Amino acid sequence: EGSTQPHGWQVHLLAYYKCGAGKLDEGIRLYKRALALKPRHPDALYNLGVAFTEKGEFDKAVFMWVAAA
């Protein structure tokens, strides 16, 4: 039987769509969950930085982008 636990990429994709729909807080929460499932996921780190930028949280954005590099 397969696990019902989501994979990091699945949660990342949902976060991406939530942010695209303007639901930044929910998207950020999901990006953080994706990173808990797969730490150092470069796309999640980068896109979390983008979400922080859209909220005006530039220090957090830069931190995410440096971690993604």
| Helix, coil or strand: residue 22 | coil
Q: Which residue has the higher pLDDT, 13 or 6?
A: 13
Residues 6+ apart with CB under 8 A from 49: 60, 61, 62, 63, 64, 65, 68
Task: Name the pTM for this structure.
Answer: 0.87
Q: Which residue has the higher pLDDT, 51 or 5?
A: 51
pLDDT in tens, 9-38: 899 999 999 999 999 999 999 999 999 998
